[in-house]
Structure formats: C-alpha cells, structure tokens
Amino acid sequence: MLLTITTTREPADDLGFLLHKHPARFQSFDLSFGKARVFFPEAGPERCSACLMLDVDPVGLVRGKGQGDGLLGQYVNDRPYAASSLLSVAMVEVFRTAMQGRCDDRPGLAETSIPLSARLDVLPVRGGEAFLRSIFEPLGYAVEATRHPLDPTFPDWGDSRCFSVVISAETTLARLLTQLYVLIPVFDDAKHYYVGDAETEKLLAKGAGWLESHPQKAEIARRYLKHRPSLYREALARLRPETPEGIDDDEGPAAAKVEEDVERPMSLNDQRLGAVLGALRGAGARRVLDLGCGEGKLIRLLLEDASFTEIVGVDVSIRALGIAAERLHLDRLPENQAARVKLMQGSLTYRDRRLEGFDAAACVEVVEHLDPPRLEAFERAAFEFARPATVVLTTPNREYNVTWENVGPDRLRHPDHRFEWTRAQFRAWAESVARRFGYAVRFVAVGPEDPALGPPTQMGVFNRET
C-alpha cells in the first residue's frame, strides 16, 4: 500500500516540517499488523513528495483470530496491497501531529491552504469511478482515476475494482489527511476491525467541518459504520440534527448489496511494477527508458500516466517486442498516444546512442538474465553512456526463494536466470556501480518482507550525482 503526498508550494521541502518527518531519512514504524515506512522520493524547493508505504503481514493479521471468511480467505487476500482501513490506522500512527494540524517549526503553515495532491496506487472502490468522484469532488478535489485491469496480461478478464487515484486541491495538510483517513475505508467498504460506538465518535470527530454538508454523507456514514443501522442513524442524527434523509431500516443502496467481488490478490509482479512506477514518478521523470522491456507490462502502466511524455522500450528479443506491440495495441492507439511510445531492438551490453539523454531508466528483472562476464558491459552501457539521471533496477532476492516450493532444482526462479543475488550481494554490486559512475543509490524492499529473509524483490534507485 502506498500513499504519496506531494506539494509544490515553495519551499516545497517544508512538507517535512508539516509531516514531522525528515526528508533525508528513511523511517520505519512497527505496527501490530505490519510495518509502515516513510520516505521522500523527492524533496526539492519546488516540489516535494512523501510516501507512506505500508507492508502488511497478512499472516500476522489473522494469527490468533477466530475463523472468519474461511481459512483460505484469511491468508490469501488483497490486504497487503490494497489501500484499506489499515492504511488509515497507519496514517494516525505515523502522521498523528500533522493530522491534528500542528507544526511548531513553521507556525501558520499548517493552517494555510497549499497546493497538495495525494496519490493512492491501489484503492479498491466499491461503486466505481462515479462513486469516487461523488465523494472527492464535492470536497473541492480534482480527481484523476485509472482503473486497474484484473490482469494486464489477460485483458478479457476485465477490470478489477481497484484504481490508481490522484486527488489535488488547495487545502491544508491536516484536512487532506483527515479526509483520506475517513474515506479510504469508505471506498473499500470493508473494515477490518470491529466497528462499535468508538467508531461513531471517530467519524464525528474526524468529519467535523466537512462531512455535515457533504451530499454523500449518508452513504459515507453508512459504509464507515459498516452498515450497522443503529450506528449510522445515530451518527447522521448528530451530524445534522434534523431527520436524516435517505435512510431506511432495512438495507443499504444497491452498491452495498452487491456480493463481495471476487478479487484476485495482487501479484508480486504488480507490486513490483507499482514500486518502479512510484520511483519513476518520484524522480519527476518525463522521458523514460524501459531497459529489457519484455512484453511491455511496465510500458502499459507508463502510457496510462500522461506525465511520461516519451517512453522507449528496449529488448534484445524480437519476439518479446512483437508481443509488446500487440498487447499495447500500438497500431490502434490514437496518434498522440502512439507518438509517446517507441519499441526498439537492442542489446543492453553495448553502447547505444539512441538511449542517451533520458530522465530515467527502468530495468526490471533483467540483470539476472545477463551472463556475469557481460555485467560490466551492461554497467558501462547504462550508467556511463546512456547515463539517465535516475535508474530504477529490480532483481530477485535469492534468500527469499526458500519460502517457495516451485523454484527450480538450482533454486533459481527462472531457467534463464544466470544468477540471483542475496541482499548483501545486490547491495555490494549496486554500491560499487554507484561509486564508480557517480550515482547515489537507495534500496527499497518490494513485496511482503520476511523478517529473516527480506522481501522477494529488491529494488535499487540510483540518482546521478554529477
């Protein structure tokens, strides 16, 4: 789960003061159901973003609890990836002071409306985009929403109920955070802890000043209080002391009666692409390379975001490029969309002038396909010659493989992998590359992290220093 807050009010890095978090630090918070991390993918004077990333331990979440949705449903679910009430819980834990609107270091700023946006990478929305807009727009937010397919590889499967959502407005940070706190579980419409009287009090407290006059307040209260008529009737009565309208005793509206969507849990691949996308966005990249683009899964996501103005996918495999062109419907895209993307055959172990001058390069699950003696050639081609300002590179964490039964006899994940690195090996390689070519590197864990073995995927984000 990833929440990204961005401001462009200068000096933008005052966001660190507002959130009470130091932009140069990567901070980790232990919560009962997982780990929250706060980091600033960008912290300049003109634009600053803070990410709250939540790693939920789905096993820890149900351990010690009674039977609920059936045994499998308890362990196999989308909790770790989809923004849910757990994210709201993490927000209060991590941003408590900011949510109270306090900022002693920058007096006045916390009360000032500033240009803010919040991005949620995977937000389950029961009721779809229309519902999403009906909630945020009356609060003055501009809404950008992109629906995620159930599986990008199989478009016929249709859409999932998850969206990438960006909301923007001139508002105070406390108001933005508080509204998200209330609304995230409302969209999800499935709270994951007991709802009781304390929830009513919370809703009234957090909704003060905006919920009373919201045209959808009945539905917000109904969902927030998990369709318990006695609770939401009371809440609504207290929100506006006249007879609440649109409330009946039996059931909620049609959207609420819909059977629980059967949703495929988000795959590691989706999480990985989400993390890469987040890092590219965080770098403010507009012109990007996808080195070893394969069948174009990342390119598809990049195309959906207009901030990427030029996208170049490179792969050595003509076959993979053919599949990519087909999946992306390159021949059918409107001209202005098609103009943004180019697929090229090339090898990453040779200098290629076509790859010079880009803002960023992604290199997703590719290095482990290179023969170790060719690795140095790749390093030079990417970091010395192509030399983008940012390189986002992922590779498997070999230590994690023991948790899977179906890895091959050589204990590698794929027959074409020439090697897989442990965390220490990847770190040593990445730090050496960074040192030799004048980059700074930071490491991001992708996927559910095992306390002893680390995450399934490791990601390095390299930023050019000179």
Q: Which chain residues interact with ligand SAH by CB under 6 A?
A: 292-294, 297, 315-317, 320, 347-349, 364-366, 369-370
Q: How far apart are CA 228 and CA 249, in angstroms?
A: 10
Helix segments in 142-283, DSSP class H: 173-188, 197-207, 217-224, 229-239, 254-257, 268-282
Q: Select 236 or 364, whichever has its Cβ closest to ligand SAH.
A: 364
CB of 326 vs ligand SAH, minimal distance in Å: 15
CB of 302 vs ligand SAH, minimal distance in Å: 12
At residue 387, φ and ψ (nearest 5 deg) are: 45, 50
Q: Select 347 or 422, whichever has its Cβ closest to ligand SAH.
A: 347
Q: Select 337 or 347, whichever has its Cβ closest to ligand SAH.
A: 347
Q: Select 42 or 315, whichever has its Cβ closest to ligand SAH.
A: 315
Q: List Cβ neighbours of 319 (8 Å cut-off, separation of 6 or more).
A: none
Q: How far apart are CA 396 and CA 400, in angstroms?
A: 8
Of 317, 305, 319, 247, the closest CA to residue 276 belongs to 305
Residue nearest to ligand SAH (CB): 294
Q: Select 184 or 433, whichever has its Cβ closest to ligand SAH.
A: 433
CB of 306 vs ligand SAH, minimal distance in Å: 22
Q: Select 57 or 365, whichever has its Cβ closest to ligand SAH.
A: 365
| 426 in Cβ contact with 397 (< 8 Å) | yes
Q: Select 212 or 371, whichever has its Cβ closest to ligand SAH.
A: 371
Question: 174: which 2 tokens?
Answer: 């406390």
Of 311, 312, 380, the closest CA to residue 351 belongs to 380
CB of 36 vs ligand SAH, minimal distance in Å: 27
CB of 386 vs ligand SAH, minimal distance in Å: 12
Measured from the Cβ of residue 116, the count of other Cβ atoms closer than 10 Å reads 23
The SS3 call for residue 210 is coil
Measured from the Cβ of residue 191, the count of other Cβ atoms closer than 10 Å reads 18
- Amino acid identity at 129: E
Using DSSP bridges, classify how beta strands 439-446 and 457-464 pair: parallel, antiparallel or unpaired. Answer: antiparallel
CB of 238 vs ligand SAH, minimal distance in Å: 51
Of 275, 430, 451, 450, the closest CA to residue 364 belongs to 275
CB of 462 vs ligand SAH, minimal distance in Å: 17
